[in-house]
């Protein structure tokens, strides 16, 4: 569950035009689980909101993602994850990233402070009742935190996508840099529950192992993004040990452009 919620929260706000991290945008999702002999069941919700605030004396974009299990399932498993991201609108770079993960008895907190002048990031993280750990790592211009990573997909012009073409991004996670491969599968009409049919851009993604630049044991997960100027994530599906889990959009608010990808 945690991996899919993170990937979905990663996937939100906008493009390299003025749309990037558009204040007022709100995306709402439902998360469901399915397996053989087990019906498709909604188990959680995710909301991603973008706003504007003052941070260290200047206006920044603030992105907050929150995932939570539905009341019916909290007796079996409690999930309450939040992710907060602050971005410099002038450079479009992350300034600060925080996460607070609470899943059953498991808790995990982390924070990344970016220093782009020195090209380094200071990370802090701690599991439940453990001593906080710290590390400073060098950055490259392709380095991103987990949430802003997928915003990158929304920043590209659709003219740049070529079927089968593969790209690699770098992701800052705790005390290491992980790599993510993604490739454009193609355009596809996708039916979204309660929302109707959409023209979409489909991507296959894979995260490398923590041991290094290897993708041999990582499962692919798939993302469908609206084929319009908003490029919002509409559907995400990922295999898990037993079955699969998916997240699909259930509502939007404050989009910069009309949702022109919806087929009427």
Q: pLDDT value at position 60?
A: 92
Which parts of the chain sit beneath pLDDT 70? 1-21, 37-38, 142, 144-160, 174, 209-219
Cα dist. 163→40, 70, 106, 188, 234 in Å? 30, 37, 40, 12, 19
Tell me which residue range forms the domain holding 242: 2-263
Q: What total number of domains does the chain contain? A: 1
**In DSSP terms, which residues pair with 262 in a beta bridge?**
198
Please tell me the pTM assigned to this model: 0.82
**Helix pair angle (2-10, 146-155), 10° resolution:** 50
51 alpha-carbon distance from chain centroid: 17
Cα–Cα nearest to 6, from 33, 46, 44, 42:
46
- pLDDT for the residue 153: 55
Q: What is the pLDDT of residues 188-234, one digit of tens each?
A: 999 998 899 999 999 888 877 654 443 344 567 888 989 988 888 89
């Amino acid at each position: 569950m945690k991996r899919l919620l993170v990937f979905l929260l990663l996937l939100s706000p906008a493009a390299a035009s003025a749309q990037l991290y558009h204040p007022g945008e709100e995306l709402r999702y439902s998360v469901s689980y399915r397996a053989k002999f087990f019906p498709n069941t909604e188990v959680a919700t995710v909301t991603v909101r973008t706003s504007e605030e003052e941070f260290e004396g200047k206006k920044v974009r603030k992105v907050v993602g929150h995932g939570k299990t539905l009341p019916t399932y909290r007796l079996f498993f409690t999930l309450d994850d939040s992710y907060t991201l602050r971005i410099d609108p002038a450079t479009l770079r992350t300034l600060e990233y925080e996460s607070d993960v609470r899943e059953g008895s498991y808790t995990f907190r982390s924070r990344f402070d970016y220093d782009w002048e020195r090209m380094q990031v200071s990370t802090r993280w701690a599991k439940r009742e453990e001593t906080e750990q710290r590390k400073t790592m060098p950055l490259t211009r392709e380095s991103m935190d987990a949430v802003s990573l997928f915003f990158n997909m929304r920043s590209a012009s659709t003219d740049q996508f070529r079927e089968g073409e593969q790209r690699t991004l770098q992701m800052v996670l705790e005390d290491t840099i992980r790599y993510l491969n993604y490739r454009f599968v193609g355009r596809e009409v996708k039916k979204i529950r309660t929302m109707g049919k959409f023209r979409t851009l489909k991507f296959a993604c894979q995260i490398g192992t923590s041991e290094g630049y290897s993708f041999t044991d990582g499962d692919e997960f798939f993302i469908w993004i609206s084929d319009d100027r908003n490029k919002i994530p509409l559907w995400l599906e990922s295999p898990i040990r037993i079955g699969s889990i998916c997240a699909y959009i259930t509502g939007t608010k404050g989009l910069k452009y009309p949702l022109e990808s919806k087929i009427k």
